[in-house]
Amino acid sequence: MAKNELEVRTKQFSLRVIRFVGEFPKNNIGNVLGNQLLRSATSVGANYREANRAESRRDFIHKIGIVEKEAAEALYWLELYNDANVSDGAECRSLLDEANQLVAIFVSIGKNTKARSTLYDRTRKT
């Protein structure tokens, strides 16, 4: 998947979460879960864009790690909301699927970049 496509995909994920959270119940549970989910889910796209503008490979690896953590956190809040059976679960399950895919993508990007960086460092030293 191209960088630009993943930027669009993470932005779409954020927008879907914003609309989803807008339907949360207006009570303590909805407020707490909604705020946590909004923060982590919208951070995925913002931090991915920042990673794509990293100043070095090391900086990129660090920033992709942050993206991975934010995606995993969003996944956690979605799981919690889904498991609490607070609302109709169709959109939540769809968002859970997307969050799982995003976590897998960012884990893969991080591992592959680290591996290439290590290989580059080894060949450079010889």
Q: Which residues of 106-122 are buried (b: 16+ CB within 10 A; e: fewer)?
A: beebbeebeeeeeeeee
Mapped onto helix, strand or coil, the DSSP state of residue 126 is: coil
Instruction: Write the class of the CATH domain 3-125.
Output: mainly alpha
Q: Does residue 122 register a pLDDT over 80?
A: no
* Residue 85: per-residue pLDDT: 77
Q: Are 70 and 47 in contact (CB under 8 A)?
A: yes
Whether 49 shows a pLDDT value over 90: the answer reads yes
At residue 36, the pLDDT reads 98
CB-based contacts of 107, cutoff 8 Å, min separation 6: 68
* pLDDT tops 70 at residue 39: yes
* Mean pLDDT value across the chain: 91
Token reading at 47: 């931090």
Position 116 scores a pLDDT of: 84
Please report the pLDDT score of residue 3 as a whole number. 78
pLDDT tens per residue across span 56-101: 999 999 999 999 999 999 999 999 999 987 766 899 999 999 999 9
The domain ranges of the chain are 3-125
d(Cα 56, Cα 1) in Å, to the nearest integer? Answer: 21
120 or 64, greater pLDDT:
64
- The predicted structure's pLDDT at residue 124: 60
